Amino acid sequence: MAIEKITMPQLGESVTEGTISRWLVKVGDTVNKYDPLAEVMTDKVNAEIPSSFSGKITELVAEDGDTLAVGEIICYIETEGGAAGGGGTSKQEAPANAASTNEEATAPTTNDEDQPNKRRYSPAVLRLAQENNIDLEQVSGTGAGGRITRKDILKVIESGNIPTADSKPATSVTEEKPAAVSSQPAASVSAPATAQAPKAAAPVNVPVEAGDIEIPVTGVRKAIAANMLRSKHEAPHAWTMIEVDATNLVDYRNSVKNEFKQKEGFNLTFFAFFVKAVAQALKEYPQINSMWAGDKIVQKKDINISIAVATDDALYVPVIRNADEKTIKGIAREITELAAKVRSGKLTSAEMQGGTFTVNNTGSFGSVQSMGIINYPQAAILQVESIVKRPVVMDNGMIAVRDMVNLCMSLDHRVLDGLVCGRFLARVKEIIEKMSRENTSIY
């Protein structure tokens, strides 16, 4: 017999943590290898954690709603056989490891660089701390990077020695101030983490009156909020817009859409044409297809277009890979399939990784002008607005009714400047305005 541990997997290339939304097993249950153990929410996707072993569940370390860093233990499984395989660790080893982790965590308690996750509190930790008036600054964490776990809080409560803000030594106040300042540039993880503690108390300041509805914030919503906040805080956003005459495109698409639907079985949307035009322009202006990496800018070779797909309570960004190599039909098919997967909950984390530029179809719900938040760590996002009929003064001085669309672009000013973005948008405009049956193939 051996006790194996199951840890929080990395469900995406930039995912650092996940929230247990629902356990699918309980202590005492027997599971087979690859059976789903729990549903997990991240900022990128909802997914199930499969079991790496066959055996019996002996302990659930995390509870519903707990947020854990990648690599933290979520449960233990008792397996038949000898040595652990594939990263398993016997439970006999676990306490020793926990003890050594605890020693490492308590030694540099005042060093934020050694404890980057010290102030990353899960909802369960915050709830217990508030209910028991525990000052989290005085609690040593045994989790990864010094993170305080639910077990750490329970241990403090069981000991009866509750560290409160009033019981903090006077010297710690003077020591804490420089530590808080230094933690901001020390690591990108610690900066947003320090803001999590006051977020939990924010609802107290909002008066709730009769008839008001309090809606709990889900893990996905929290993750979206954290990512949007990070993008706005780290990337200096600039915004630009261009007006495009899409009359020829509208006439072309409307003339073939019914035949296309009958032949292919899915819709030929305007969005597919815009994604194709953006992919072509990105190939000509590769600077736009870049990412900020601290001391360097990474210009990506592949053109992988992230498309924003909304559900009633969340936003997902699946990726069309190598969009510049695909036909308009191929792009339309992928848009249809990816949107269907999002709305049916079948989208995988792999289908949301690797995006280099985002195109958002804000026009689908009637928007004519918007300012998107950049999909971090990409350098820009393009909003395709509604196509509307407007009177336009033509080159000959005559007024004509034309199908016009605004393309709105948010850009990271660390990576991009107005000149290259202006040229990029002008090229997208040129491609769209020249789209017609004569010079644009759908296949």
Catalytic residues: 413, 417
For residues 292 and 275, what is the distance between their CA atoms, to the nearest angstrom? 23
| Tokens, residue 201 | 């108390």
Residue partners of 22: CB distance under 8 A and separation at least 6: 38, 39, 64
For residues 400 and 220, what is the distance between their CA atoms, to the nearest angstrom? 47
The DSSP call for residue 224 is: H
- Residue indicated by tokens 């909950």: 345
For residues 442 and 80, what is the distance between their CA atoms, to the nearest angstrom? 57
Q: For strand 17-23 and strand 36-41, is the pairing parallel, antiparallel, or unpaired?
A: antiparallel
Question: Amino acid identity of 196?
Answer: Q
Residue partners of 161: CB distance under 8 A and separation at least 6: none
For residues 30 and 77, what is the distance between their CA atoms, to the nearest angstrom? 9
Contact between 257 and 328 under an 8 Å Cβ cutoff? The reply is no
Neighbour tally for 403: CB within 10 Å: 19
Q: DSSP per residue over 85-144, as a string? A: -TT---TTHHHHHHHHHHHHHHTTTT-TTT-TTTT---HHHHHHHHHTT--GGGPPP-SG
CA atoms within 13 A on the CB side of 36: 10
For residues 369 and 363, what is the distance between their CA atoms, to the nearest angstrom? 9
Nearest to 112 by CA among 141, 77, 152: 141
Residue partners of 106: CB distance under 8 A and separation at least 6: 140
